[in-house]
Amino acid sequence: MSTATETLQQNLSFQQFKEEILNDYYIVMLSRECSLAGRKEVLTGKAKFGIFGDGKELPQIAMAKAFKKGDWRSGYYRDQTFMMAIGKFTPKQFFAGLYAHADINKEPYSAGRQMGGHFSSHIIDENGDWKDQTKQYNISSDVSSTAAQMPRLVGLAYASKLYRNVKSLQTGYSKFSDKGNEIGWGTIGNASTSEGHFFEAINASGVLQIPMITSVWDDEYGISVHAKYQTTKENISEVLKGFQRDKKNKGLEILRVNGWDYVKLIDTYNRAANISRSEHVPVLIHVQELTQPQGHSSSGSHERYKTNERLQWERDFDCNKKFKNWIQEFELETPEGDLLKLIDNDEELKAIEVRAKKEVIQAKKEARADFLAPLIKEQQELIKLLDAVSIVSSNKNFIIKMRNELAITKEPTRKEIYSTARKATQFLRLENSEEKKTLQDWLVKNKKITQDIYSTKLYNDLGNGVSTIDEILPTYEKDIHEVDARIIIRDNFDALLKKHPDLFLFGEDSGKIGDVNQGLESLQDKFGEDRVTDTGIRESTIIGQGIGMALRGLRPIAEIQYLDYLIYTIQTLSDDLACLRYRSFGKQKAPLIIRTRGHRLEGIWHSGSPMSMILGSLKGIHLLVPRNMTKAAGFYNTLLKCDEPAIVIENLNGYRLKENLPNNLGEYTTPIGYTETIKEGTDITIVSYGSTLRIVEETAIDLLQAGINIEIIDVQSLMPFDINHDICKSVQKTNRLLIVDEDVPGGASAYILQKVLDEQNAYNYLDSKPTALSAKEHRPAYGSDGDYFSKPSKEDIFEAAYKIMHEVKPTEFPELY
């Protein structure tokens, strides 16, 4: 539908054409009424916060007309009209999201875990199996962080390229793609295009030549800050002119359109979709002259920062108002010379506006009632329990006061209900009665149920997660073949690429040279550039590329060249991948594996061990720290049997060390979440991981000569951690604990200590203070001397263990110096 006349020529009767136009008007008015009512709900205290899609309605109608089943959207929190236009968002769901209704059936995008306006589709069923993505509109779970939707968008579009071009994907993947004809649609505000994620993603899309359409909703502001402070030339499409493709060079197609021009919007979006879908060319649509009628969010008024002239312009160029004017003025001359109008008078449009307003009012009423119903039920249950216990309690007056305060609350929150119940138990702590026990039982049972509402789904909880995969030990030929450890990694990936046609490895230097440590040597030559791929230096979109691919049913392994470089992409990992399963209430998954390497190299920039950063910000991603390449290869084998994301940190200084070559590569598995005792001892339990473990093993010989017999435990997996509590069992035997780690003080060593003491209760068996030996607070200095004085050395470990034994037996172990 590019113009009204052309639409009629596409076998639409005038009546059908009229119905389509008026239905579009109804949707934009319905969406606007939701925005207006949503702001009022926040200002009256019924909702916490709101960011709405008012002012962006019309271009989203156009986008919805070009969006097809099988396509993917990676957008942001102003896309409510688009969701309504594709039939996947109702006013009732709008208010359920606004109230944070913690019921996935009422708020189907996050079960109230995200604020309103954050959308997602259910791409896995109740058993964790993939749904048929080609038969539904696919919405990748939104995030609030500005421009954070862009890295994943690259991967969603890149998957279409792979599904179209890679032979191994031509059969068996019909649930995920129809010959690569799907588009990845992105939306972003004009101010957010200032973020590095945006530029990195746009550049990557041009390099990769993928079917990716990015819409920039441009209302000239970012919160209260005008475009002149945001964007060079105040115009993002001007800035990006160098990306425009031409006859000699591949690049992007860049289109501009005014956000209030209904006919040109539809023409532009259809044109963009045709180009991107057929040619696999990225398109940027700069939608200009948009407005923001209520300002940025419910937290402030735009009258504070916009001039009177700008405010008047926004009233005049409101896209809904301009659409209404277009409908009022539309005339089409028939071949007979008659003039056809969409409406005879304004009453028809007024009726649409009234119907939209009534639907929103009714939806708000029903959504509020649905939201309050379970809370009122819990409130009434607790009131009855408090009534009963107050009769027999010596603290009757206090309990009745709490009971009455709760009872007069017409719209209770769960916080108020359970806070009241828990406070009541404080007054009953010295009493004994059946009524008290009934209250306690109710609180324990319901507190668990309600906590689950807000805390589940971070990991796979379907009974087939990573920790359920049994260990398969590596086996060896009779005549053991010793090789450089990198050969084990390389040949294991070779076996996996043969075994898994949907497996793809990519990253900086991964292809041509087979990674910087030759762990992928010659695999690109063997399996092709699509399966083993070089990328640019763009860590965030390497991870985003993997997230999008994983969402679309592929098994990507994204390589981040060094562990330190995770810092470049920690935001994408944290805000998108780590919490994906949680924030979609288990309705989406992206089993991306991140391959990296680190530890014990010399110098500030390639030898950091930012484990505390990873542990603190990446809950939801498994963190695996193998001590050698045999263990690392086993982790990859295990992960490809599961559907959860993970980071595998290979030892940077271990690739040239010798290891025995297994003969069941691609088959044996390293268990995830379980430790391994690699040396038994009686005096001290020493816990470590990764390459530092090798130093501990070497030190064990010196300690044994000094009369100290240590037990060495390899953590192997930091997240999940020691499921069987084997460290506690060891401490129960040795009564002493030393944790050795090369992270900064208070980092991974503190994490391990908290797990062992708090969760495993190992303090019950300690006869000496538990000790953590870590690196210095600074990054490692360059050179061998720098490493020696920055990270734990053999002598450091010896002295730490010796000091523990000196405290126990000072005569037998006198001070060293």
Residues 628 and 631: their CA atoms lie apart, in Å, by 6
CA distance 421 to 373: 19
Are the beta carbons of 549 and 506 closer than 8 angstroms?
Answer: no
C-alpha–C-alpha distance, residues 51 and 37, integer Å: 12
Residues 6 or more apart whose Cβ sits within 8 Å of residue 751: 611, 612, 615, 718
3-class secondary structure, 772? strand
How far apart are the C-alpha atoms of 342 and 330, rounded to whole Å?
A: 6
**Which residues, at least 6 apart from 410, have a Cβ–Cβ distance to it below 8 Å?**
none
Q: How far is CA 584 from the centre of its chain?
A: 9
* 26 closest CA partner among 348, 331, 307, 508: 348
Provide the b/e sequence for 446-464 (b: ≥16 CB within 10 Å). Answer: beeebeebeeebbbbeeee
Nearest residue to 520 via CA among 563, 499, 489: 489
Q: Got the DSSP string for 335-376?
A: TTSPEEES-SSTHHHHHHHHHHHHHHHHHHHHHHHHHHHHHH
Catalytic residue among 118, 481, 500, 606: 606
| Rounded alpha-carbon distances, angstroms, from residue 611 to 14, 688, 738, 743, 760 | 65, 13, 18, 6, 21
CB-based contacts of 625, cutoff 8 Å, min separation 6: 649, 689, 690, 715, 716, 717, 718
Q: Is the peptide bond before 720 cis (omega within 30 degrees of 0)?
A: yes
Quick check: is 606 catalytic? Answer: yes
Please, are residues 163 and 53 in contact by the beta-carbon 8 Å criterion? no
* φ and ψ of 216, to 5 deg: -105, 115
Residue type, 281: V
Which one-letter amino acid corresponds to residue 94?
A: F
Alpha-carbon distance values, 263 to 11, 130, 327, 691 (Å): 18, 38, 11, 63
For 509-528, b/e burial (b = at least 16 CB within 10 A) is bbbeebbbbbbbbebbeebb
Phi-psi region of 593 (alpha: psi -120 to 50; beta: other; left: phi over 0): beta
The residue count of the chain comes to: 817
Q: Which two tokens stand for residue 303?
A: 């009258």
Residue 169 has which token pair?
């994907």
Rounded Cα distance between 240 and 600, Å, is: 42
3-state secondary structure of 135: helix
- Give the C-alpha separation, 764 to 757, whole Å: 9
> Could you list the active site residues?
606
